[in-house]
Each structure stands twice: as structure tokens, then as C-alpha cells.
């Protein structure tokens, strides 16, 4: 595994990030632990979670996934020391009005709760899960700075921020002075490429590493047409609507992957790793097979200029703003 720097930091992470959102709701704890062990064995040292994960499904509650990870750490064997741990704050964690958002109070209490669930004394990358337009940046950075001084977090990242949010956050941090945001999690795939207009340029300018989520677009880029033909079943109503809308492009894409002799999921992830500003796309396996299949191939798959051009023809991207929409 060739490790890369997380944005402009000196921190080394694997070029694939293990997403844990399925741990609890769709993947049993025993299987989740086995997947994390296997990921570590394969050299994946970057694990991402969030305090809200695990809130869905039977027996779900906010923090369930962090609890699962914490019990994995508790097994010992250097598990905690070997990984770069990322979690998030922002979402609703209770019924009271201050159990959400990015107020200094909620950031402090949410961090302490995450540390307890995760059974660790620090979080390597603490990410704002969404922008909180009601919380001033001065307040946000006051809270983050205090957690850094206490040794409870090391780096701060964002998720689902617009380009100008990244600018605001880092310019405010610079005045304290703090390092500011070192990473941004955005939805990004061959299909969803809008961040190329402003988020990507902002991240590159500030040395903020991009951690794409949903790089396979909920399975659409994982060979969905062939799987449906083989299994003889349709997706849910909303997903099937997307498949039908994108069918011509999906057919071209899967045919091109056949020409390359590669699995569609591997091609989609490899394309991502060729894009500027990318640190590590998030892979969110539900099963061991999903972890050890196409995802690992993507880390070593090199696409030449012709292949990258063909993918851009099938899935057109965006120019940097304002050139995309103005002369």
C-alpha cells in the first residue's frame, strides 16, 4: 500500500479510507470487527465514522457504530495505534436543542461522548459533518482549539462544505492562528462532479485533502446493469428510476470497463485516485467480499490518458467556476 499525505499535513494515510456507516445497521458487530481486522491486514490505516452512524435500523441509536469500533479497539493488539481515526460532529444526538450543531458547547460534549464510545483518548481527525450557519466561525474554532490543547483531537476537517465555507473557515482559523481545515469530505463520483467547480479549487488552494464519499454512487458505478441481469431483480423504486435515467451512460461505462478488462467498481475508484486534490475515497463495505474485491484493485490500477478521456466523454465533468458557465 502506497501511503499518501492527508492534505497539507505530514500525516500518512492509505489511499482508500474504510467507511463504517454500515457497521451496525447492515453489518453485524462480529462481521464489522472482521472487516476492520482485514482492512488493517491489507494496509488500510484510515478509518472514518461519525457520531450519528448506527442510528438507523432495528435497535439503532446515535453512536452505535462508534461503540462497535470502540469494542474493536478494546481487543488490543495495537489496533488503535495503527489507524488514523476520523469521526464527525454536527447531527442531532438527542431531544434537547443543544444536542446538535456546532456550538462550542455541543462540540465539547459531543467529542467527549465520542471518545467514551470509541474507548480512546484522542481522535486523529475531527470533522464537522455539515456547515452550521448559526454558529460563528470564531466560536467553532474556539471549541476546536480547546480540544486540540487538551489533546483530544489532532486535526480538524469538514464534510459537505461549499467552497466558500472552506475559505471562511480557514481564513478565520489563520487569524487565531490555527492550522484550520486539513480535509473535506464531499460527495464525488464519475456521476456527481459538481464539486469540480468550486470545492476542488478551494481545497487545492488551501491544501485541504479531499475525501470523496459515495464514489460508487450507491452502487450505480459498480456494474449495476450486469448484476441486475445476472440476479434477475430490480433495485428499489428511487434507485431504479436513477438507473433508467442513466441507462445509456451506464451501458457505455460497463462496456468500456469490459474493454479494459476491469471491474466497474475498480475503474470508478481508480479514476477518483487520478483526480487532483484527492487524498482517499471512502469505501463502505457491508461484507468482506466487498472489501477484498474491486476496491483493492483500484489502488494499483493505472488509467492512461485515453482511458481518462473516454471516461470524461461518458460522464462529462465541470470546469472550474466561473469558466464553466461564463465564457
Residues 6 or more apart in contact with residue 10 via CB below 8 angstroms:
none
| 3-class DSSP state of 147 | helix
Query: Beta strand 181-187 with 123-128: parallel, antiparallel or unpaired?
Result: unpaired
Where residue 231 falls among pLDDT bands split at 50, 70, 90? confident
Is the domain covering 4-219+265-303 a CATH 2.60.60.20 domain?
no
pLDDT tens digits, one per residue of 162-179? 999 999 999 999 999 999
The pLDDT score that the predictor gives to residue 296 is 87
What cell was used for 146?
480547546
The pLDDT score that the predictor gives to residue 36 is 98
The pLDDT score that the predictor gives to residue 274 is 97
Q: What is the 3-state secondary structure (H, E, C) of 259-305?
A: HHCCCHHHHHHHHHHCCCCECCCEECCCCHHHHHCHHHHHHHCCCCH
Using CA atoms, how far apart are residues 269 and 28, in angstroms rounded to an integer? 26
DSSP state of 7: T
The pLDDT score that the predictor gives to residue 59 is 85
pLDDT tens digits, one per residue of 254-271? 999 999 999 999 999 999
Ranges of each domain in the chain: 4-219+265-303
C-alpha closest to that of 84 among 21, 6, 190, 159: 6
Total residues found in the chain within this entry: 327
Using CA atoms, how far apart are residues 303 and 320, in angstroms rounded to an integer? 23
C-alpha closest to that of 53 among 30, 29, 28, 21: 21
pLDDT tens digits, one per residue of 12-71? 999 999 999 999 999 999 999 999 999 999 999 999 999 999 998 888 999 999 999 999
Which phi and psi (to 5°) does residue 79 adopt? -55, -50
Helix, strand, coil in percent for the chain, rounding step 5: 45, 15, 45
C-alpha closest to that of 155 among 184, 186, 187: 184
C-alpha closest to that of 184 among 175, 153, 165, 171: 165
Contact assessment for residue 63 and residue 93, using Cβ atoms and an 8 Å cutoff? yes
Residue positions annotated with a catalytic role: 53
Where residue 146 falls among pLDDT bands split at 50, 70, 90? very high
Where residue 237 falls among pLDDT bands split at 50, 70, 90? confident
Q: In whole numbers, what is the pLDDT of the chain averaged over residues?
A: 95
In the block, cell 470524461 appears at 312
What is the pTM assigned to this prediction?
A: 0.95
The pLDDT score that the predictor gives to residue 236 is 85
pLDDT tens digits, one per residue of 71-102? 999 999 999 999 999 999 999 899 999 989 99
The pLDDT score that the predictor gives to residue 225 is 93
Judge whether residue 233 has pLDDT over 80: no
Amino acid at each position: 500500500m502506497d501511503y499518501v499525505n492527508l492534505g497539507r499535513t505530514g500525516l500518512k494515510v492509505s489511499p482508500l479510507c474504510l467507511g463504517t456507516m454500515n457497521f451496525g445497521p447492515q453489518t453485524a458487530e462480529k462481521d464489522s470487527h472482521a472487516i476492520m481486522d482485514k482492512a488493517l491486514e491489507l494496509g488500510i490505516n484510515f478509518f472514518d465514522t461519525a457520531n450519528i452512524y448506527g442510528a438507523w435500523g432495528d435497535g439503532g441509536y446515535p453512536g452505535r457504530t462508534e461503540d462497535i469500533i470502540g469494542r474493536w479497539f478494546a481487543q488490543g493488539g495495537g489496533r488503535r495505534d495503527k489507524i488514523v481515526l476520523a469521526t464527525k460532529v454536527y447531527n442531532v444526538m438527542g431531544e434537547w436543542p443543544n444536542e446538535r450543531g456546532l456550538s462550542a458547547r455541543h462540540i465539547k460534549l459531543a467529542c467527549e461522548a465520542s471518545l467514551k464510545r470509541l474507548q480512546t483518548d484522542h481522535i486523529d481527525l475531527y470533522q464537522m459533518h455539515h456547515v452550521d450557519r448559526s454558529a460563528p466561525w470564531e466560536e467553532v474554532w474556539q471549541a476546536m482549539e480547546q480540544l486540540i490543547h487538551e489533546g483530544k483531537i489532532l486535526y480538524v476537517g469538514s464534510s459537505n462544505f461549499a467552497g466558500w465555507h472552506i475559505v471562511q473557515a480557514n481564513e478565520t482559523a489563520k487569524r487565531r492562528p490555527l492550522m484550520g481545515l486539513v480535509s473535506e469530505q464531499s460527495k464525488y463520483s464519475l456521476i456527481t462532479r459538481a464539486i469540480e467547480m468550486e470545492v476542488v479549487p478551494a481545497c487545492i488552494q488551501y491544501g485541504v485533502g479531499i475525501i470523496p464519499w459515495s464514489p460508487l454512487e450507491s452502487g450505480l458505478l459498480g456494474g449495476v446493469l450486469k448484476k441486475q441481469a445476472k440476479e434477475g431483480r430490480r433495485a428499489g423504486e428511487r434507485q431504479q428510476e436513477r438507473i433508467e435515467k442513466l441507462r445509456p451512460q451506464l451501458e457505455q461505462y460497463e462496456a468500456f470497463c469490459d474493454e479494459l478488462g476491469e471491474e466497474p467498481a475498480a475503474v470508478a475508484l481508480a479514476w477518483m485516485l487520478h483526480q487532483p486534490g484527492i487524498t482517499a475515497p471512502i469505501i463502505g463495505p457491508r461484507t468482506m467480499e466487498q472489501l477484498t474485491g474491486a476496491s483493492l484493485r483500484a489502488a494499483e490500477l493505472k488509467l492512461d490518458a485515453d482511458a481518462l478521456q473516454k471516461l470524461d466523454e461518458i460522464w462529462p465533468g465541470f470546469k472550474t467556476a466561473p469558466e464553466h458557465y461564463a465564457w
